[in-house]
Amino acid sequence: MKTTANAGPRCADRSIVPDPDLFFPVATTGPDVEAQIEEAKQVCDACPIRRECLEVALRGGPSTAHGTWGGLTEDERRHTRRRRARSAA
Ligand code: SF4
């Protein structure tokens, strides 16, 4: 599917995200990691497919198990899944 430059995933645009590792911190805590996560979240916040991306990541799968997807970290996605499961019960 052909998309316009503004309609695709922002994380795939190397003029916005030169290093895709931005979305995959090597640690889970610490000021550098927090800054990295915040930067990734800012990219996601302006992404035109954020909602769809997050839903795919919440459904899980190996490709979205780690890192920031749809503006949420791995831990935040886990909490969201639990909250949704409790709401559905
Ligand atoms: S919302 Fe998803 S597709 Fe968009 S920048 Fe974030 S990780 Fe990439």
* pLDDT tens by residue, 46-84: 999 999 999 999 998 778 889 999 999 999 999 999 999
Which residue has 């709401």 as its token pair?
A: 87
Integer angstrom CA distances of residue 45 from 1, 5, 54, 87: 23, 16, 11, 25
Q: Is 3 among the domain residues?
A: no
Q: Is 73 among the domain residues?
A: yes
Q: What's the confidence (pLDDT) of residue 4? A: 45
Q: What's the confidence (pLDDT) of residue 65? A: 85
Q: What's the confidence (pLDDT) of residue 74? A: 93
CA-closest residue to ligand 1 atom 3: 9
Q: Is 2 among the domain residues?
A: no
Residue 39 reports pLDDT greater than 80: yes
User: Which of 42, 49, 72 to probe ligand 1 with, by most ligand atoms within 8 A of CB?
Assistant: 49
With a threshold of 0.95, does the pTM exceed it? no
Structure tokens at 82: 């639990």
Nearest to 75 by CA among 12, 18, 33: 33
Q: What's the confidence (pLDDT) of residue 5? A: 52
* pLDDT tens by residue, 15-36: 999 999 999 998 878 999 999 9
Domain of 30, in residue numbers: 10-88
For the chain, the domain total comes to: 1
Rounded to the nearest whole angstrom, what is the distance from the C-alpha of residue 49 to the centroid of ligand 1? 7
Q: Is 45 among the domain residues?
A: yes
